């Protein structure tokens, strides 16, 4: 869905449902669409806004036994729908290497044009590759890319690039994020593939590294926005999130005569590597002992895992200070399953930061 004047002003791309079993973003974009239709009719949009409210028709049909929805993974390949997007810097490095110059704006235009051209000639071999290419092509010219997801059970949080913390703070303030998590290479140093959102920041980061003597800005602000948990789907929350996204569009200059109110962020950005994840030591019933949003410290009890046969009770304690922002919604766990997520200020993890 396209709104506003094409080829004028800034371009914003928003998608939801890349993990097709995550539905809060779909409802939020449904309500946002109605706002944008009215603004477009009134001539108040200063740039183009692209909405993709159902980004993954493959995953949307992955129902097992008619009820259980497996929308995170492609069933034939077992691949996560939000992994293995190509390294765009590698894709365009050769065609731009001799054409870049001393003008930052001209470099950005050249790089975006080259991304568009290179993506245009790639031929997908599978349905999954076709999906990835389609989404990349739709977002390739955007100044802002927002990929709307949700966690299992969580408060609103944001994943962004470390060089874009100020922009992430603006987004986080607009949407009421309780954690703003940043990383430079979320897939680990030298990763050859990325998540959808990371692919649009990694391209600028890596081209800066390859051409350090030339002006290449971080021209695309790209972030993954986690809208609470799987079951936080209601018109009240959907309209609240649509209002927040509309306010954000006003803040970044996409709406004429918008009443711009900069909402202070609820938190400061912290490193994604600072998230402590605790796993179940054995299978059993999960009883959480801390509420989401709790400020915790070392030794805070977060959850008990109870084996109902043996009576074994294992308590998971936080080892760091931070905010308890996410947890797994299922209340029976297998051994070694990730259960709790606390955002701290100091790195505690290295390598790939992605969950499964």
User: Could you give all domains of the chain from N- to C-terminal order, each with its CATH number?
Assistant: 2-251 (3.40.630.10), 273-343 (2.40.50.100)
pLDDT digits (tens, 9 = 90+) for 191-245: 888 999 999 999 999 999 999 999 999 999 999 999 999 999 999 999 999 999 9
Percent of the chain whose pLDDT exceeds 70: 100
pLDDT digits (tens, 9 = 90+) for 304-328: 999 999 999 999 999 999 999 999 9
pLDDT at 190: 82
Of 38, 45, 88, whose CA–CA distance to 222 is shortest?
Answer: 88
Three-state DSSP at 46 gives coil
Of 181, 204, 205, 201, whose CA–CA distance to 355 is shortest?
Answer: 181
pTM above 0.95, yes or no: yes
Pairing between strand 270-271 and 322-327? unpaired
Three-state DSSP at 335 gives coil
Give the pLDDT band (50/70/90) at residue 67.
confident
Give the pLDDT band (50/70/90) at residue 188.
confident
Of 233, 237, 224, 229, whose CA–CA distance to 330 is shortest?
Answer: 229
Number of Cβ within 10 Å of residue 102's Cβ equals 9
Q: What are phi and psi of 30, to 5 degrees?
A: -60, -45
């Amino acid at each position: 869905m396209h709104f506003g004047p094409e080829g004028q002003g800034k371009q914003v791309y928003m998608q939801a449902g890349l993990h097709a079993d995550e539905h809060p973003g779909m409802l939020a974009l449904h309500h946002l669409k109605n706002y944008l239709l009215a603004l477009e009719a009134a001539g108040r949009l200063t740039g183009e806004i692209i909405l993709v409210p159902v980004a993954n028709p493959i995953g949307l049909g992955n129902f097992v036994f008619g009820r259980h929805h497996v929308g995170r993974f492609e069933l034939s390949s077992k691949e996560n729908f939000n992994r293995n997007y190509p390294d765009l810097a590698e894709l365009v490095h050769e065609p731009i290497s001799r054409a870049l110059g001393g003008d930052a704006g001209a470099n950005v235009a050249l790089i975006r044009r080259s991304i568009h051209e290179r993506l245009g000639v790639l031929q997908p071999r599978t349905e999954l590759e076709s999906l990835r290419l389609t989404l990349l092509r739709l977002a390739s010219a955007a100044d802002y890319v927002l990929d709307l997801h949700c966690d299992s059970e969580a408060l609103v949080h944001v994943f962004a690039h470390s060089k874009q913390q100020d922009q992430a703070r603006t987004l986080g303030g607009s949407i009421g994020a309780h954690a703003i998590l940043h990383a430079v290479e979320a897939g680990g140093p030298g990763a050859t593939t990325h998540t959808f959102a990371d692919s649009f920041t990694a391209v600028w980061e890596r081209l800066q590294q390859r051409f350090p003597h030339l002006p290449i800005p971080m021209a695309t602000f790209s972030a993954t926005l986690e809208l609470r948990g799987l079951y936080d789907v209601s018109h009240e929350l959907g309209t609240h999130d649509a209002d927040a996204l509309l306010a954000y569009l006003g803040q970044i200059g996409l709406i004429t005569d918008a009443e711009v109110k900069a909402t202070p962020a609820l938190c400061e950005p912290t490193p994604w590597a600072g998230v402590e994840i605790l796993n179940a030591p054995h299978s059993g019933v999960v009883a959480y002992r801390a509420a989401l949003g709790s400020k915790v410290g070392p030794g805070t009890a977060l959850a008990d895992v109870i084996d109902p046969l043996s009576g074994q009770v294992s308590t998971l304690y936080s080892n760091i200070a931070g905010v308890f922002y996410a947890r797994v919604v299922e209340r029976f766990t297998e051994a070694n399953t990730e259960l709790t997520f606390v955002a701290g200020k100091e790195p505690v993890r290295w390598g790939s930061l992605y969950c499964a």
